[in-house]
Structure 1
Amino acid sequence: MARFLVILSDKQRGRLSDALLLAHVRHLRTQAALGHLILCGPFTDDDGALQVLEATDAAAAQRLVEADPFVREGYYRRYGLHAFIEANEANDWLIGAAQTAANRLAPDVDAEAVPEAPRAD
């Protein structure tokens, strides 16, 4: 499974009916229960929203986005879909990943020499 960042944009403010909102929430609940929706939410500037989806490929992720009533009914008229690689402590923040290696200037950084982040007390 791959992860995808969805950026919803071109919001049609003032056009949100109760029926559309409830249909959207049903869609989110279903996708979360199926393990496809990792997180979602609107931007604080009320201009768009994001979703993080898990799907087998970009085509499957696109189908999930287009099944969302907010997209299907044009409440958000545009979206961007971007596959991404999650960086986290378990994969050492991708320091040894092929993509990281391909973008490095030179292999002169020893992964063991990367300083630890300060810990909060």
Structure 2
Amino acid sequence: MSEAPSFEEFKRYVILLSLNPGRRLDEELIREHVAHLRELDRNGQLVICGPFLDYKGGMVIIQADSLEEARGIAECDPFVKSGAENYELRTWAISCEENQHLGMG
């Protein structure tokens, strides 16, 4: 009999980035942001990311050991550090067949 999956292993953190009014993203800042994303990827923390096509901002989904660690990652993003963007942090549970849709399927 297989052991039920721990829902903790299906937890991710979503960083929602929004451009602050009157601010813009120049090429240098975007390159710094991309370097930050590459570092997260090298560390095995980046799940997926990208800009919204219908909104001035984007989303970065990461793996972290805690909400505090996720907040630290968000606050180290050059977009946030520069004040060009603000962020909202959400804790997200992945619903899938492997965890029987969070035990409900």
Q: TM-score range by the shorter chain?
A: 0.7 to 0.9
Counterpart of 2:61 in 1: which secondary structure? strand
Which position in structure 1 is the counterpart of 2:44? 35
Give the RMSD, CA atoms, in angstroms: 1.9
TM-score by length of 2: 0.80
2:99 to 77, 81, 91: 91
Q: Deviations over 1:85-115 (max 9, x none)?
A: 111111111134xxxxxxxxxxxxxx5xxxx
Q: Deviations over 1:4-35 (max 9, x none)?
A: 11111134576222211111111100101101
Q: Aligned residues: percent identity?
A: 33
Could you tell me how far apart the structure 2 residues matched to 1:15 and 1:37 are? 24
Q: Which runs of 5+ in 2 are unaligned?
A: 1-8
Alpha carbons 1:11, 1:48 under 8 Å: kept: no
TM-score by length of 1: 0.70
Distance 1:75 1:68, change over 3 A: same
Could you tell me how far apart the structure 2 residues matched to 1:54 and 1:75 are? 24
Could you tell me how far apart the structure 1 residues matched to 2:24 and 2:57 are? 14
Distance 1:11 1:41, change over 3 A: farther
Which position in structure 2 is the counterpart of 1:116? none
Q: Which amino acid aligns with 2:51?
A: P
Cα shift at 1:82: 1.1
Q: Deviations over 1:64-85 (max 9, x none)?
A: 0011101111121x21111121
- Does residue 14 of structure 2 align to residue 5 of structure 1? yes
State the structure with more CA Rg: 1
Which position in structure 1 is the counterpart of 2:90? 82
Which position in structure 1 is the counterpart of 2:25? 16
* Bigger relative contact order (CA 8 A; separation at least 6): 2
